[in-house]
Amino acid sequence: MTNLAVAQWLQEIAAAKAKAQAKATPSPPNNNTSQDDVSPGREQGHSNTNTNKTTCGISNNGSDHSTSNTTNTTTRSKTTTTTCSTSSCPQHGIITSYNLKNRKKQLQLILPPEPIKPGPGECCGNDCDPCVNTIYWEDLAGYKDRVKKLEAEYEAACKALESGEETQEKESANLSAITREIIKEEEEEEEEEKEALEQEGLSIRSYKPFKILQKRYLTENALLVICDVPYPKPMKTLGGPSQYRQDIITKALFHILIRFKGEDQYLTKAFTPVDLSSRSSRSNNDNSSNNNNNNNNNSNNSVNVALGDKMAFLVKLYPSPHATSDMFRQLQEYNYLEDRIVEDAGEEEEEKGVLYLRGPIQTAKDQERNRDLALKKLDEELKDKSIGNRNKSIINDDSRPRERRKKERIVMIAAGSGITPMYQVLRVIHHYNNNHNHHHRQQRQQQQQQQQQQHQSDKREAFERIVSQELDLVYCNRTSSEIWLRQELQEICLTGQVHDDNDHDHDNKNNSAALTQPIEMHSASSSKESQESRRKVLTRKMRIHHVLSSSCTDHDQDLDGEKECRHHQGCSRHHQCERVNIGGRITLDLLRETLRGNIMSASDVGRVNTDSIQHSSFLEEEEEYLWILVCGPPLFNTDVSKMLDQLGYKNSDRCEIHILE
């Protein structure tokens, strides 16, 4: 052996000893490990999984070295050292190492951990997309494909090292091309997951723990749970009316999966979150204060300020024994004074004050309908562009051109906790209308003096977009005390009326006046302008019809057989938007009248005049597109579906039905 070879060999030994000593030094425990990447109860199984490692050693003269399977990286690091140029070596892949004891170079194949199969009860059974089982089989297929590629490349590398065909560049390279590609993909996935965690806090592929900020009983059987995760904000920009309706269905209607860990399996249920940016955290019944302690009552006023942007869940509780209800009753608020996430904390202690969520998701049936709807609307838009201006306008009573368009209505039929997805849609519509009207008021103020004629044209176009939006809600409950979000629905109904664009005051006094009499424009000097304002109030409205199966003393029977609540404090004026029918259930006749738009709220009584009748004849010339949303218990959904089928309402080019489960 020449002096040059000896010197080079000594340098390699010195460098290898230094790296081996650095690697053998125990690193401090990583306390930053979060539960966000793994599910509860599965961390232990993940950490105990032995990673498959195969070592292939080749001597300098080409003789084979014994092949062995190692499972302890600490023991291996005392005898071998890798030639990784990076500060931290990958957890799996093909690694070139050097055995100091035998003076042999060797290759190590470290396989990635196998995906963990979902445990019993982790699938909610609601046909979610994606389902946890679907995610597992997709990950397992990708895992098997990666293992095949790594094993094939490992065999090729071993043969090349055996025959001595490996070059100096290949000897110095510690990772193969496939290994680097796999590591790059994993880094990209981690970055995407981190970005999603920072933006929304939720993951559609795995359950993540979120702190429970507040837990309050609104009624005897209604529980409000607020989690430390932001509620998705409504979209800032929307397209035309057709695109707007499409976004309502595809974006507003989403569910969150909540998972509990039972004694022997997981329990998973789907819930619709509630937006707390308005007043949805209040109790809807004054009698519910008897069920709350003083601390809960004092916190009512602070919810909107501190927790207004957080995601909340309204849960209906059933008498024990009931698995889901019992789990929610056992939930505890997160205690920041005892904030402890330590390495030796027990699993039971770590789960206190947190809720495991996954989402947002939609049911597969709804997604299929939404995709078909999007394609259908795209075809309609392309067809309209090809036709041109053939059916662009018609002439009405005052000989002014008006754009022909579809009159769009949304009919919501809910029962019990099924009001939560309906409230989602109403909040998005309310948010859109407020921004839309505010934008047009600012635009008209800027153009009022210079472009008076163009201003009038813009006003008519805005009127046509708003006039076609009508909402009908049929809400079924047992008693009035079980009506969820009643005050919030009444407020949306109140502010949902179309007001004069020149009216800049939005206080409660003006809003109340909008319900009792037609609004006349301040600048109106002719009967035509006042007639147009009356048309707005008549044709653009939200109507609520409560159907209660049991009677209660809080209602007084009217002459027409319907009953109206009069005792609710602070919102008696809102009840002009709704009607309450007691002592029955939803019937075929009630559903028929609602779908036809013949149900009038109390605020409409005495409104109809000759001007409105003339305008209604104009509306009949417009084509109506109907959205029907149904959500309630399974039996309720089945009964309503049968009624819709009897009335002839099916999915078509003018009707879209969504049964939410």
Contact 405, 468 (CB under 8 A): yes
Residue 174's Cβ-count burial label (10 Å; 0-12, 13-18, 19+) is buried
Contact 315, 271 (CB under 8 A): yes
Sign of CA dihedral 148, 152, 154, 155: positive
Contact 607, 632 (CB under 8 A): no
Residues 436-441: contacts with CB under 8 Å, at least 24 apart: 436/462, 436/465, 436/466, 437/466, 437/499, 437/501, 440/501, 441/501, 441/502, 441/504
> What span, in angstroms and rounded, lies between the C-alpha atoms of 567 and 167?
89
From the list 548, 567, 420, the residue with the least C-alpha distance to 484 is 420
Please give the structure tokens belonging to residue 149: 């590629």
From the list 546, 637, 634, 644, the residue with the least C-alpha distance to 595 is 644
C-alpha R_g of the chain: 33
> What span, in angstroms and rounded, lies between the C-alpha atoms of 98 and 105?
5
Give me the residue label for tokens 């293992």: 147
Contact 205, 142 (CB under 8 A): no
> What span, in angstroms and rounded, lies between the C-alpha atoms of 629 and 363?
14
**CA-to-CA dists, residue 28 to 77, 92, 341, 343, 436, angstroms:** 17, 21, 16, 12, 56
Residue 287 C-alpha from the chain's centroid: 32
B/e letters for 469-487, b = 16+ CB within 10 Å, e = fewer, are bbbbbbbbbeebbbbbbbb
Give me the residue label for tokens 């839309």: 436
**Integer distance in angstroms from the first to the last C-alpha of the chain?**
80
> What span, in angstroms and rounded, lies between the C-alpha atoms of 626 and 595?
8
Contact 227, 309 (CB under 8 A): no
Q: Judge whether 420 is annotated as a binding position.
A: yes
Contact 337, 352 (CB under 8 A): no
Binding-site residues for FAD sit at 420
Residue ranges of the binding site = 420
